[in-house]
Amino acid sequence: MKRVSLYSSSRRPTKGRGVPLASQTPESTSENSAAADPVPAPKPPGRIRKFLARHERPVLVAISAFITVLAIFTYAKIQEPQRVLTQKDIDNAVMHTLETKSLPSATARAAAIIRPSVVRVNRKGKDEDDADRGVGTGVIIQEDGTILTNLHVVAGADRVEVEFFDGSTSEADVVGVQPEHDLAVIQAKTLPDDMKPATMRSTAGLMPGDEVVAVGHPFGIGPSTSAGVISGLRRDYVNPKGKRVLTNLIQFDAAANPGNSGGPLVTLDGEVIGIVTAILNPTEQRVFIGIGFAVPIENAAAGSGMSPY
């Protein structure tokens, strides 16, 4: 007789079939369900991204074309030749400046250049309180305070005093004379900080009609400026008393009066070409009538023992 196999009627719980185990609590069950929630789906791309995604190739072509055009334009600008100024452009610019701006005259520029080198020369008596016995002019020609003036300006002085452009004063010694040219060289004892020696220029090449400027202290007033032209060269002069003859002089018509003696006669560049020494006046009024004389700077500088240029 066959034996019938016996089977248990109970079944073991299998894994993964969703049958809760006894060890599981409601809380753990809820945590597991929360962890199993699905991840939100990504947002769809925006319109610009969709457009770029659909038309990527045409957009890249357009950007490349723009960059190429920009590069060509920039290169053309860099390589563009600069406009060359013509004489007409220059003339128009000069005319515009002359019409819209007031420029200093040539005489004013020359006077401004030479004035810091011009000094007033006072001939003094023995006493400090003595009034000036005479006034003349001088011009500084060296940085050590060497000054050129006329001999008749300092002749007979007990003391010589010079007044500089900045108003400061100093006693000066007579260190050299040239009677044949009515010239004297004086040396200032005290110098201002901003003292400026004049620039000298050869008289070679000067012609009658060239413009000149005279700066000095006529009748003690100054510094005063007058302008004119060279009237002649290599002139001779005899003083009213007939005691002195000066030769090889520059004749000029810039106004000069007593007190201008020893002052510089300069070109429009402010360069000294002579030392004013005399005026011609057949009367006893001692005023200017249009003829003045200056010693050429070559003779004047030689008296100071230096080359004029």
| pLDDT tens per residue, range 47-57 | 677 666 676 77
Q: Which pLDDT value is given to residue 22?
A: 45
- Would you list the domain boundaries of the chain? 111-303
What is the spatial distance between Cα 184 and Cα 193, in angstroms, rounded to a whole number? 24
3-state secondary structure of 183: strand
Q: Which pLDDT value is given to residue 170?
A: 93
pLDDT band for 91, please (50, 70, 90 cuts).
confident
Give the residue-averaged pLDDT of 178-196. 91
| pLDDT tens per residue, range 269-282 | 999 999 999 998 87
Q: Which residues are catalytic?
A: 152, 182, 261
What is the spatial distance between Cα 1 and Cα 85, in angstroms, rounded to a whole number? 135
Query: In percent, how much of the chain has pLDDT > 70?
Result: 73
Where is pLDDT greater, at 204 or 25? 204
CATH code linked to domain 111-303: 2.40.10.120
Give the residue-averaged pLDDT of 124-148. 81
Look at residue 35 and tell me whether its pLDDT is greater than 60.
Answer: no
Q: Which pLDDT value is given to residue 18?
A: 46
| pLDDT tens per residue, range 234-244 | 999 887 676 66
Q: Which pLDDT value is given to residue 134?
A: 80
**What 8-state DSSP symbol labels residue 15?**
T
pTM, to two decimals: 0.66
What is the spatial distance between Cα 204 and Cα 298, in angstroms, rounded to a whole number? 10
What is the spatial distance between Cα 183 and Cα 152, in angstroms, rounded to a whole number? 8
* Burial classification of residue 171, based on how many CB atoms lie within 10 Å of its CB (0-12 exposed, 13-18 middle, 19 or more buried): middle
Q: Which pLDDT value is given to residue 202?
A: 92
What is the spatial distance between Cα 187 and Cα 191, in angstroms, rounded to a whole number? 10
113, 264 Cβ separation under 8 angstroms: no
* Burial classification of residue 16, based on how many CB atoms lie within 10 Å of its CB (0-12 exposed, 13-18 middle, 19 or more buried): exposed
214, 137 Cβ separation under 8 angstroms: no
Of 254, 258, 252, which Cα lies nearest the Cα of 218? 258
Residue 176: Cβ within 10 Å count: 15
Q: Which pLDDT value is given to residue 19?
A: 45
**What 8-state DSSP symbol labels residue 187?**
E
Beta partners for residue 177, in sequence order: 184
Beta partners for residue 237, in sequence order: 246
Burial of 86-123, coded b for 16+ CB within 10 Å and e otherwise, reads: eeeeeeeeeeeeeeeeeeeeebeebbebbbbbbbbbbb
Give the residue-averaged pLDDT of 255-260. 94
243, 172 Cβ separation under 8 angstroms: no
pLDDT band for 82, please (50, 70, 90 cuts).
low
Look at residue 8 and tell me whether its pLDDT is greater than 50.
Answer: no
Give the residue-averaged pLDDT of 235-255. 85
